[in-house]
């Protein structure tokens, strides 16, 4: 009973944390470490509530999270992404199976590209001399929200 209730409530908590991350990134151009830690630490609770076996299911989820973090840490080192974005992606990947991670990354790329083009156009129109910073946490959060809610809205086929 507790497991079923938690497996329904925890994605809602994740959604709220993603909304907070997006809002923080929009406002401050940072994503608080506390949000990323909370997302990461709630993932094993979600695994347990969802009935995942420690081996191999939980190990696979942990491996996926580490792999996503490692790939985007490389992007960070090349200057293509902020550290908070990398941590958010790694923490979010702990919640998602492989196919959902791929879908999330695809949606994130599309939203991030549109966001970047819009901000670049606005930056040019304002003739701003400051460096443009893209709040990519918005794209990550939107894609994460899309993936975690998609299964609830895709019931009517």
pLDDT in tens, 142-156: 999 999 998 767 655
Encoding tokens for residue 71?
A: 């790939």
pLDDT(157) > 60: no
List the single range of 46-50, 127-131, 149-153 with lowest mean pLDDT. 149-153
Spatial distance between the Cα atoms of 95 and 144, rounded to a whole number of angstroms: 10
Q: What is the predicted pLDDT for the residue at 4? A: 79
Q: What is the predicted pLDDT for the residue at 151? A: 74
pLDDT(116) > 60: yes
For residue 103, give every residue at least 6 positions away whose Cβ sits within 8 Å of its Cβ, in sequence order, or none.
Answer: 147, 150
Q: What percent of the chain has pLDDT over 70?
A: 95
For residue 10, give every residue at least 6 positions away whose Cβ sits within 8 Å of its Cβ, in sequence order, or none.
Answer: 42, 45, 46, 49
Spatial distance between the Cα atoms of 36 and 18, rounded to a whole number of angstroms: 9
Query: What does the pLDDT average to over 74-85?
Result: 96
Q: What is the predicted pLDDT for the residue at 57? A: 96
């Amino acid at each position: 009973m507790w497991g079923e209730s938690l497996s329904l409530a925890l994605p809602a908590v994740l959604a709220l944390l993603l909304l907070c991350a997006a809002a923080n990134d929009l406002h401050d151009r940072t994503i608080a470490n506390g949000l990323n830690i909370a997302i990461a630490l709630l993932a094993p609770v979600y695994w347990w509530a969802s009935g995942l076996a420690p081996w191999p299911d939980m190990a696979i989820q942990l491996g996926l999270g580490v792999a996503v973090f490692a790939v985007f840490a490389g992007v960070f080192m090349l200057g293509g992404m902020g550290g908070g974005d990398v941590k958010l992606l790694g923490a979010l990947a702990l919640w998602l199976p492989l196919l959902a991670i791929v879908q999330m990354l695809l949606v994130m790329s599309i939203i991030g590209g549109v966001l970047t083009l819009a901000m670049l156009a606005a930056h040019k129109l304002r003739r701003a001399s400051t460096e443009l910073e893209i709040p990519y946490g918005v794209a990550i959060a939107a894609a994460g929200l899309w993936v975690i809610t998609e299964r609830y809205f895709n019931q009517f086929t």
